[in-house]
Chains A and B, each alone.
Chain A
Amino acid sequence: MMKKLLLNASFFAALFLAGCDGTTDPVLPPTSDFTLTFKSLYDGQPLEKYKNYDYATYKVQFSRFNTFLSDITLLKGNEEYKLSDIEWVDFTPDSAPNDLAVEVPVKFSGVPDGDYTGIRIGYGVSPDLNAKQPGDFSSTHPLSRENEYWLGWASYIFNKIEGKADLNNSGVFGTSLIYHCGSDEVYRTYTFNTPIRVEEGAAATVEFDLKKLFTINGAWFDMTIPENQFTSNDIGNVIVAAILMDNFDYATRVTQ
């Protein structure tokens, strides 16, 4: 009890003395909470697990989509403000109601108010963080997720997109689609020049459209080719992973 009493008295004295200081606090720029909401779409509509989507001349379904995003940074001319080193966004958690992919809002506190000219996003895990492994992080850190780490490649799995295709329109989705991208070689950074105003309660949206992701230079990514049905697990062969990671800027839309 005495310890607590002394602590309280000290706090009170400090409060009193601070009030007598006579100096003025430096003027800090106003800051606000700012929310980025990540969404997953297919052809402009919210992604739905196990839904039959028209794709080229056949159909596809998706059952999993999650991704790491690194060094999310607001830009203002030559200035920049990093919102986050790393986020893990899971659009298809087991708890997703009615199989509808969830929106993932991430709130950042203390963001300097102002008119920003764009945002830069790293797709995957930046090389400095990718050099670490789950055991290096506290249990609440996004990179502590051991199931998102590939022991064989000593790399995080940057994103997982899984589903199936019905290549001959038989009604049977018998072809597995497994796209797990990873390794420093396929880490990508894209900048989106979109006006973003930060003020109290401000928010912006980052959308990933899987139809666009699998549309490469205006053409469908051909899933009838066996080598295109999965990302190779040979670390010397990241062709498919690179194609997808190269296309994430086209598949991404940032709005406010």
Chain B
Amino acid sequence: MEKYMPGRTAKIWALALLLLTFIVLDACKKDDPPPNDEDADLVAIPYDPKPYAIPKPPKFPEMPVPADNPVTVDGIQLGRRLFYDPLLSADSTQSCASCHLPEGSFTDNKAVSTGIDGIAGRRSSMSLLNVGYVSRPLFWDGRSPSLEDQALRPVEDPIEMHNTWANVLDKLRKHPAYPAYFRKAFGITSRKQITKEMAAKAIAQFERILISSGKSKFDRYLNGDPDALDDEELDGKLMFFDEGGPVGLPDAQCFHCHGGITNTGFSFFNNGLDSVASLNDFKDKGRGEVTGNINDNGRFASPTLRNVAMTAPYMHDGRFQTLEEVLDHYSKNGKGVSNEDPVIRQLGFPIPGTNPVKYSGLTAYQKRAIVKFLHTLTDPDFINNPDIANPFK
């Protein structure tokens, strides 16, 4: 039997009381309003962040969202304004939307984009449709690990906005409207607390709502409307997804790099564009510039093909003007460069008696059918969505 120990009980009660006191004091410390702060010029503006439920079109996966940047209604509103505001560039002439226009499915429909000083970049602007789903690093070369990081970069890029974040922050803090937007989005109490990281987070939040409407012809087909695609489009779909064998259609190998419901590749590929004597000879080394790995030279991110009919010209350098040219390229063999992806080979059916085996290429009908299928990925509801339009118009 346990002994009764009055002294021990008293000690436990004393300890408990002490602990309770600490808890009470701790709670007071964290929740009380901050002491008077002459810089707290925004506290009168309500801060009431409301979570934003990211739409999920049928069959689409759940979008990953970083824990330190939850999407809120006010965060999106701020990000949308920043995205469309030329204030971010040094001479206030270019915004993110200058190279990512809604009517081009958030591309600029140019081979390469041009910055504020009229200097042409090396690469084409990438579509931002469904960019929130992209799990690989961002940009054609994957130099950015996240949307939050990516959004920081164009401001200081000398051939894009050619500005400094210090200058941008100065403009934002002095702006008649932006401090209130930052307050509502992030709960800051003073305009001095605006940071570039907050601006980037807000832009990333806006970019996460650039999502398919789920109403393209292809989506309607996937969701149970067999008449959404005509016979030719259906043939194209079968070849795109390598499922045409049973009906005598060749594999077009498209889905290996543009798979899944967002038709986005989640990796980097040498898709056989350039003939080079050695892997060091690529004019644009792409992924290799980031990793330093010679086998990554000439590899580029595979973009989404959603709305691809709206995003011409094609490839990282915009070398192909039409989808027909793209199909012509993929129908042929690659260039025989050692790090070309294995799926880059002549399409079509094996030619009997050839060793190594050669393929027939695609017929004119087959190419046309694939192009027609690609057009079924067009989503006018997305680009006409008023929630993602320029708020300054």
Contact = CB atoms under 8 A, between A and B. Distances in A.
Contacts of A226: 350, 357
Given A12-B19, A178-B342, A167 B293 contact: no
B370 to A, nearest CB: 14
A136 to B, nearest CB: 9
B287 to A, nearest CB: 7
B268 interface: yes
Contacts of B16: 12, 16
B293 A99 contact: yes
Given A94-B267, A139-B64, A146 B259 contact: yes
A50 interface: yes
B62 interface: yes
Contacts of B245: 232-234, 236-237
A219 interface: no
A1 B295 contact: no
Interface string B342-374: 111100001000011100000000000000000
Interface in B234-270: 238, 241-246, 251, 255-256, 259-262, 264-268
B228 to A, nearest CB: 15
Interface string A171-208: 01111111010000000000000000000000000000
Interface stretch (A70-78, A117-125, A149-157, A242-250): A149-157
Contacts of A175: 356-357
21 contacts: A4-B31, A8-B23, A12-B16, A12-B19, A12-B23, A49-B295, A94-B268, A134-B261, A135-B58, A139-B61, A146-B259, A146-B262, A147-B259, A150-B255, A151-B222, A151-B255, A151-B260, A162-B342, A175-B357, A226-B350, A233-B244
Contact of A140 (B64, B241, B242, B345): B64
Given A151-B241, A229-B357, A146 B32 contact: no
Nearest to A8: B23
A164 B338 CA distance: 9
A152 B238 contact: yes
B342 A63 contact: yes
A12 to B, nearest CB: 6
Given A99-B293, A233-B251, A50 B338 contact: yes
Contacts of A98: 293
Contact of A174 (B133, B260, B356): B356
Interface string B11-29: 0000010011001100110
A35 interface: no
Interface residues of A, number: 51
Contacts of B259: 146-147, 149-151
B345 A176 contact: yes
Contacts of B64: 139-140
Nearest to B355: A224
B355 A178 contact: no
Contacts of B24: 5, 8
Given A12-B16, A233-B242, 8 more contacts: A4-B31, A8-B23, A8-B24, A138-B62, A144-B62, A145-B266, A151-B261, A175-B357
Nearest to B56: A135
A14 interface: no
A106 interface: no
A12 B344 CA distance: 65
Contact of A235 (B243, B264, B296): B243
B287 A99 contact: no
A137 B60 CA distance: 10
A32 interface: no
